[in-house]
Amino acid sequence: MSDDPKPASPVADGTAAPGANAASAAPGAAATPGAAPSQQEMAIRSALETVMDPEINLSVIDLGLVREIEIQQGKTLIRMLLTTPFCPYAPQLMADVKLAARSVVDQECEVEILPDPWSPEMMPDPGLLGFSY
């Protein structure tokens, strides 16, 4: 155990100290998974709280369906899952997600459905389903 309580941080010459996130040390680096979300991304996530799964009656955010939001020049890309592979509500959910995102960032929005299977463990709070795992 080290006597130094300081967390790892970038060294004065601009290189990252051991254990530091290299992306945070490089100015202008592209957003990386695990990086802090931008204000626009947080605003889009907030707007997506209003997009409800009609069968489960929870938002796409509460269900953990939205996996990534990428705000590019002229386009917002949202990658998300469906609760079931052949969800009959997929077209409506995609349209609602696009509408909610465009209400915050007024530019083209593309929704990409990921092939990964969804499970309640992906939810920020699986207890919202009303039973425990």
Query: pLDDT tens across 82-129, in order?
Result: 999 999 999 999 999 999 999 999 999 999 999 999 999 999 998 898
CA 55 to chain centre: 22
Q: Does a structural domain hold residue 42? A: yes
Residue 27's SS3 state is coil
**Distance in angstroms (rounded) separating the CA atoms of residues 104 and 111:** 15
How many domains does the chain divide into? 1
Give the pLDDT confidence score for residue 82 in this predicted structure. 96
Q: Does a structural domain hold residue 8? A: no
**Distance in angstroms (rounded) separating the CA atoms of residues 80 and 45:** 12
Q: Does a structural domain hold residue 29? A: no
**Contact assessment for residue 15 and residue 9, using Cβ atoms and an 8 Å cutoff:** no
Q: What is the mean pLDDT of residues 19-29?
A: 33
Identify the CATH number of the domain in which residue 49 sits: 3.30.300.130
What is the domain range of residue 117? 37-129
State both tokens at 10.
């970038």
Q: Does a structural domain hold residue 26? A: no
Name the band, by pLDDT with cuts 50, 70 and 90, for residue 28.
Answer: very low
**Contact assessment for residue 105 and residue 40, using Cβ atoms and an 8 Å cutoff:** yes
pTM of the model: 0.71
Name the band, by pLDDT with cuts 50, 70 and 90, for residue 131.
Answer: low
